[in-house]
């Protein structure tokens, strides 16, 4: 029994981790996403007509993290407030300057390269996720051995109506299924003539004398796929219903000025569906979601306000949809199972053009989201004197390290069978060695130390206090700090602090006159961070 393929599959199924690939279709402008702080003047001079303001504006860039070295400090687009909150909670990592050698700035060729997991001279007919899934479930073959009692669900699911190269197998069909609506999909399959009457099959069963012939084998193979489609449709309908509705509100529209086609959040329903499928028991390993509109040659920003426009709406959609998704996963008890990573075929040029836009470039940033992320910023701010963003990391480094640390894939399989090279710690073509990228953790632990190094509420001195006391706090970026005093029943007694502070450590003396003796709680709030401490007041 130990050699039975299904028994082996069950042994490999110990990890229930899920990887979501978020495609930013069209080539995201990384410099208006992660704005250079130390080189801001040079950034502004290269793209003055689209540059995000750093001061003297109600909508200016959001400083990410003052505890980082200067060459890593960035500001976020003003519509990425939700992203800042996730970062401060230790749920986001950024990787700067991701590309591949000899990037030619082509949408179609660039997308194929990122999806196939090769270099600029490679033309693989399979995708890196397809190869990963093939080895994850070996020795079973897809589609012949699926679905089965141990794996009832599609190996991969791509939101939309087509299947990308990333899921393809060599000389075989893709290891994924495209999906928009599980209920509609199930109803559509059930309405097909071949599934209405199981005794009569009008699809064209080949006559018996063709059994064993090439024609007969092909027809039986196609009919088998139709049967699998029926099985998958019913299964997805079941897990969708079992997942139930969420208590989390997903964002639906951009609240500010943007072209009509950019207002709707197309990412929210995709992520919402994935959370529901997973909550219902779906065991699919890899999902792909998409959001388009990043090919911003013209009108990337509004002529009257560089913080508004198409790109602003996209940044808002990603930030708020991912925040809702993470909250949804948390309330459903799934937060420790799911990691999301972005992909985009290229970045944009350092300099803007005369049409309030940016043209095709090379490198750009990648985002990683989730409870299992190793938070922070990897890589330096791009060189603003160049025309293109230089490559700091090969995109295969990012995905190879995620397969190793998050999906727990053996390094030999990653090197030999998925990326056909060692992009984890192997030799570089230009000399030296790749260094492992700590993007995800194999064992999920607390992010408390990451948060404590960036935000902290200190103890009061004196405590117990008579008349007044002093406390300290640490923040990692400029922001509105509020400190409220509560009594033992949780009733708000007095606002002790409500003021905008620069990043760093601050000491504040507060007046306690008129407050009766007793035990109190003082709570600090800045952005998504909250922390409380006890205070004893004496008269």
Percent of the chain whose predicted confidence (pLDDT) is above 90: 81
Read off the pLDDT band of 14 (50, 70, 90).
Answer: low
Of 418, 443, 463, the residue at which a domain comes to its end is: 418
Q: Please give the helix or strand (H or E) that residue 63 lies within, else none.
A: strand 62-63
Please, what is the angle between helix 267-279 and helix 310-331, to 10°? 10
Domain termination site, one of 418, 443, 468:
418
Does one domain contain both 324 and 459? no
Where does the pLDDT of residue 9 fall: very low under 50, low under 70, confident under 90, or very high at 90 and above?
very low
Residues 492, 392 share a domain: no
Sequence-distant contacts of 53-59: CB under 8 A, at least 24 apart: 53/306, 53/307, 57/307, 59/305, 59/307, 59/308
22 assigned to some structural domain = yes
**What is the mean pLDDT of the segment spanning 291-320?**
97
Q: Are 189 and 200 in contact (CB under 8 A)?
A: no
Residue 447 lies in a domain: no
For 148-160, the pLDDT digits (tens) are 999 999 999 999 8
528 is a domain residue: yes
- Residue 90 resides in a domain: yes
Domain count, the chain: 2
Judge residue 502's burial from the number of C-beta atoms within 10 Å of its C-beta, 0-12 exposed, 13-18 middle, 19 or more buried.
exposed
Asked, for residue 209, whether it belongs to a domain, the answer is no
Indicate if 37 and 138 belong to the same structural domain: yes
In angstroms, the Cα distances linking 523 to 85, 333, 453, 481 are 18, 27, 18, 10
C-alpha–C-alpha distance, residues 515 and 256, integer Å: 43
Instruction: Determine the average pLDDT of the residues in 313-323.
Output: 98
Looking at the fold, whether 394 and 480 belong to one and the same domain comes out as no
418, 447, 476 — which closes off a domain? 418
Per-residue pLDDT of 78-113, as tens digits, reads: 999 999 999 999 999 999 999 999 998 999 999 999
Q: 367 with 321, same domain?
A: yes
The CA dihedral of 58, 59, 60, 62, to the nearest 10 degrees, is: 110
How would residue 494 be classed by pLDDT, with cut points 50, 70 and 90? very high
End-to-end CA, the chain: 77
Residue 331 lies in a domain: yes
* Judgement on whether residues 487 and 373 belong to the same structural domain of the protein: no
Helix-helix angle 310-331:81-88, to 10 degrees? 40
Instruction: Give yes or no: residues 371 and 513 share one domain.
Output: no
Are 366 and 502 found together in one domain? Answer: no
- Residue 475's domain comprises 455-537
Residues 167 and 93 in one domain: yes
Specify the pLDDT at position 191. Answer: 62
| Residue for token pair 């004196």 | 462
Strands (E), 112-191: 156-159, 176-179
Task: State which H helix or E strand residue 43 sits in.
Answer: helix 40-46
Element (H, E) at 82: helix 81-88
Spacing of C-alpha 423 from chain mean position: 21
Can you tell me the distance from the alpha carbon of 257 to that of 520, in angstroms, rounded to the nearest whole number?
Answer: 45
Query: What's residue 216's pLDDT?
Result: 61
CATH value at residue 340:
3.40.720
Residue-averaged pLDDT of the chain: 91
Helix residue ranges, H only, 387-471: 395-405, 411-413, 448-452
Where is average pLDDT lowest: 13-22, 83-92, 97-106, 417-426?
13-22
- 429-451 burial, b for 16+ CB within 10 Å, e for fewer? eeeeebeebebbbeeeeebeebb
- In a domain, residue 290? The reply is yes
Residues 113 and 61 in one domain: yes
214-252: per-residue pLDDT in tens?
A: 666 666 656 666 778 888 999 999 999 999 999 999 999
Q: Are strands 156-159 and 286-291 parallel, antiparallel or unpaired?
A: parallel
Q: What is the DSSP letter of 360?
A: B
HEC assignment per residue over 261-283: HHCECCHHHHHHHHHHHHHCCCC
Query: Are 342 and 283 contained in the same domain?
Result: yes
Q: What's the rounded Cα separation, in Å, for the pair 70 and 60?
A: 19
Is there a single domain that holds both residue 529 and residue 395?
no
Report if residue 53 sits inside a domain: yes
Residue 131 has pLDDT above 70, yes or no: yes
CATH number at residue 502: 2.60.40.2550
């Amino acid at each position: 029994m130990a050699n039975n393929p299904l028994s082996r599959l069950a042994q490999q199924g110990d990890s229930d981790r899920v990887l979501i690939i978020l495609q930013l279709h069209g080539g995201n402008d990384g410099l208006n996403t992660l704005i250079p702080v130390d080189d801001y003047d040079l950034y502004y001079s290269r793209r003055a007509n689209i540059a995000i303001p750093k001061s003297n504006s109600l909508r200016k860039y959001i400083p990410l993290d003052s505890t980082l070295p200067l060459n890593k400090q960035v500001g976020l687009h003003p519509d990425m407030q939700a992203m800042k909150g996730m970062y401060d909670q230790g749920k986001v990592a950024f990787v700067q300057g991701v590309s591949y050698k000899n990037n030619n700035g082509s949408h179609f060729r660039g997308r194929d390269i990122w999806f196939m997991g090769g270099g600029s001279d490679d033309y693989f007919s399979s995708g890196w996720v397809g190869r990963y899934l093939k080895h994850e479930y070996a020795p079973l073959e897809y589609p012949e051995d699926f679905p089965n009692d141990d794996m009832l669900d599609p190996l991969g699911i791509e939101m939309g109506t087509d299947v990308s190269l990333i899921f393809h197998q060599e000389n075989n069909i893709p290891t994924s299924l495209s999906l928009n609506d599980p209920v509609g999909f199930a109803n559509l399959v059930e309405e097909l003539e071949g599934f209405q009457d199981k005794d009569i099959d009008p699809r064209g069963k080949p006559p018996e004398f063709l059994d064993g012939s090439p024609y007969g084998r092909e027809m039986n193979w196609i009919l088998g796929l139709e049967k699998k489609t029926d099985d998958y449709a019913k299964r997805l309908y079941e897990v969708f219903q079992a997942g139930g509705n969420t208590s989390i509100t997903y964002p639906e529209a951009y609240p500010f000025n943007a072209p009509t086609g950019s207002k709707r959040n197309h990412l929210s329903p995709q992520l919402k569906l994935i959370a529901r499928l997973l909550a219902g028991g779906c065991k699919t390993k890899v999902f792909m979601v998409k959001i388009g509109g990043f090919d911003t040659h013209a009108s990337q920003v509004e002529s009257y306000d560089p913080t508004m426009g198409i790109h602003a709406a996209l940044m808002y959609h990603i930030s708020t949809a991912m925040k809702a998704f993470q909250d949804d996963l948390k309330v459903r008890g799934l937060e420790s199972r799911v990691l999301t990573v972005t992909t985009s075929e290229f970045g944009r040029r350092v300099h803007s053009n005369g049409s309030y836009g940016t043209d095709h470039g090379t490198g750009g940033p990648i985002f990683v989201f989730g409870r299992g992320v190793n938070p922070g910023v990897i890589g330096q701010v791009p060189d603003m004197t160049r025309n293109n963003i230089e490559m700091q990391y090969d995109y295969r480094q990012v995905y190879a390290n995620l397969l190793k640390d998050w999906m727990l894939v053996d390094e030999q399989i990653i090197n030999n069978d998925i990326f056909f090279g060692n992009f984890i710690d192997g030799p570089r073509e230009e000399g030296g060695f790749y260094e492992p990228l700590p993007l995800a953790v194999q064992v999920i632990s607390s992010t408390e130390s990451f948060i404590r190094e960036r935000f902290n509420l200190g103890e009061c001195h004196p405590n117990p206090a008579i008349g007044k006391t002093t406390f300290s706090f640490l923040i990692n970026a400029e922001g509105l700090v509020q400190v409220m005093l509560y009594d033992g029943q949780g009733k708000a007694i007095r606002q002790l602090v409500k003021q905008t502070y620069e990043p760093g450590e601050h000491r504040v003396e507060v007046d306690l006159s008129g407050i009766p003796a007793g035990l109190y709680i003082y709570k600090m709030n800045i952005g998504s961070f909250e922390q409380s401490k006890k205070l004893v007041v004496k008269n």
